[in-house]
Amino acid sequence: MSSCRAYAITADAVANERARVNDDLSQMDITNVIALDTLDLADVGPNDVKFRTLAFSAEHNLTHAATADTVNIAELRGGKIYPGNSALGEVTEVGGNVSKFKVGDIVITHCNGDPDPYGYPLRIWAYDQPDSIGWYAEECVVGDWQLVHAPLDCGLNLWEIAALPLRAPTAYHMWRRAEGILRVKLPDEQLSTFNVLGFGGGVSELFLMLAAHRGHKAYFCSGSPERREAMEKFGVIGIDQKQYNRFADRSDIKAFGKEVKRLTNGIGMHIVCDLMRGPCFDAGITAASRQGVNVSAGWQLSRDCTYNSAGASAKQITLDHTHYETPTGIDAATSLYGSVFKPTIHNEIYAFEDLPRAVVEMDQAIQTGIPIVRVAEDMPAAVQSLIP
């Protein structure tokens, strides 16, 4: 058995920080909760792969785990979790039954935990899947089914590839569901081009890249001028969320709805990619067209949402809750790296020791793109040419 450094979140750390701020989650300092720990790695079994982590992207579920804003997942997992749903690494050892991978391969992870009969996850690895150990670590041991060959020849650099293992399958899954639901209601002969709106971050950006690639009109509502400018290169129209005070009250939402109607010649958005809770949810419902579809992944801000059901019914709006893709869908999403999915990366590549700061800055929505953490100082020859 070997050991390495890995990030952990403990129930005690969550409780201590919540006590310090009298349960005012807005005042919590996540850097007091997410901490480097020593992880004893499991021995490599016959169907396992061991890899050393080269880089990973910070994910929003770290905020939920660190603040226990939805559920206290560290407590539910027995007092400690090792997070990390997304990573890029170099294979260093394979089990005797493993034929898909060999030592030296560059791989990416997926976070499908416990698949249901259709291949969709009941739980997410390194979050609510029991006994799962995440990949915000210097080394990892995983089942071979959790890995995909990194598409090193896709045209993306190493940090861009590292940004996508969690976000690309999520965006791909949300798009194909939204498109399928809308097509049930409005076949191509009735509506050939959609108006598509996305709010905020990396998943929405990829979602809109796919929409634009399919020939639809895409709109990105974000408070970051850098991210809006990056999306304009894909033909995506930017909307400054800060002009509407991030939808702080009803007047802001009404003003946003009026602007959406102006942009879409009075029609509204056929598809909205949203958090389905918090202030963006009301804005997304307001922006939706008749027969519109609102798709949501994640549970930022709250587990619950409320809306005017009678109004949504009158407009025949469909709300769809998504989670994550099947392994087949993950492979399909990976095939779009570089050709469709070209992520915007934050202008600082964080050191491994700086992950807590990266999460805080992600939560503050001040980053210029997806935050990437470099773990390995010495990179293998296979990726040297991909490092900007």
Task: Say yes or no to pLDDT of 193 above 80.
Answer: yes
Higher pLDDT, residue 304 or 120: 120
pLDDT of res. 323: 75
Task: Say yes or no to pLDDT of 301 above 70.
Answer: no
pLDDT of res. 94: 98
Structure token pair of residue 74: 């560290």
Per the DSSP assignment, residues forming a β-bridge with 197 are 219, 272
What are the residue boundaries of the structural domains of the chain, listed by start? 3-163+343-384, 168-321
Per the DSSP assignment, residues forming a β-bridge with 56 are 373
Q: What is the pLDDT of residues 201-255, one digit of tens each?
A: 888 999 999 999 999 999 999 888 999 999 999 999 999 999 998 888 899 999 9
Task: Say yes or no to pLDDT of 276 above 50.
Answer: no
Q: Is the fold of 3-163+343-384 the same as that of 168-321?
A: yes
Q: What is the pLDDT of residues 102-124, one digit of tens each?
A: 999 999 999 888 889 998 888 88
pLDDT of res. 308: 78
The bridge status of strand 80-81 relative to strand 147-149 is unpaired
Name the average pLDDT for the chain.
Answer: 92
**Candidate from 170-179, 270-279, 318-327 with smallest mean pLDDT:** 270-279
Structure token pair of residue 294: 């609102």
**Candidate from 18-22, 164-168, 221-225, 256-260 with smallest mean pLDDT:** 221-225
pLDDT average, residue stretch 254-277: 89
Distances (CA, A) of 205 to 20, 221, 344, 379: 36, 10, 8, 29
Percent with pLDDT over 70 in the chain: 96
pLDDT level of residue 60 (50, 70, 90 thresholds): confident
Task: Say yes or no to pLDDT of 281 above 90.
Answer: no
Per the DSSP assignment, residues forming a β-bridge with 274 are 296
Cβ atoms of 239 and 255 within 8 Å: the answer is: no
**Candidate from 110-114, 224-228, 258-262, 342-346 with smallest mean pLDDT:** 110-114
DSSP state of 327: H
pLDDT of res. 277: 52
Check if CATH label 3.90.180.10 holds for domain 168-321: yes
Q: What is the pLDDT of residues 69-109, one digit of tens each?
A: 878 999 999 999 999 999 999 999 999 999 999 999 999 99
Task: Say yes or no to pLDDT of 338 above 80.
Answer: yes
Q: Which amino acid is at 191?
A: L
**Candidate from 6-15, 77-86, 288-297 with smallest mean pLDDT:** 288-297
Residue in the block written with tokens 């918090």: 278
DSSP states of 141-171? EEEGGGEEE--TTSS--HHHHHT-TTHHHHH
Q: What is the pLDDT of residues 146-170, one digit of tens each?
A: 999 999 999 999 999 999 999 999 9
Per the DSSP assignment, residues forming a β-bridge with 293 are 271, 318
Q: What is the pLDDT of residues 129-141, one digit of tens each?
A: 899 999 999 999 9
The DSSP element (H or E) to which 197 belongs, if any, is strand 195-199
CATH topology of domain 3-163+343-384: Quinone Oxidoreductase; Chain A, domain 1 (3.90.180)
Task: Say yes or no to pLDDT of 300 above 60.
Answer: no
pLDDT of res. 275: 62
pLDDT of res. 278: 63
Percent with pLDDT over 90 in the chain: 73
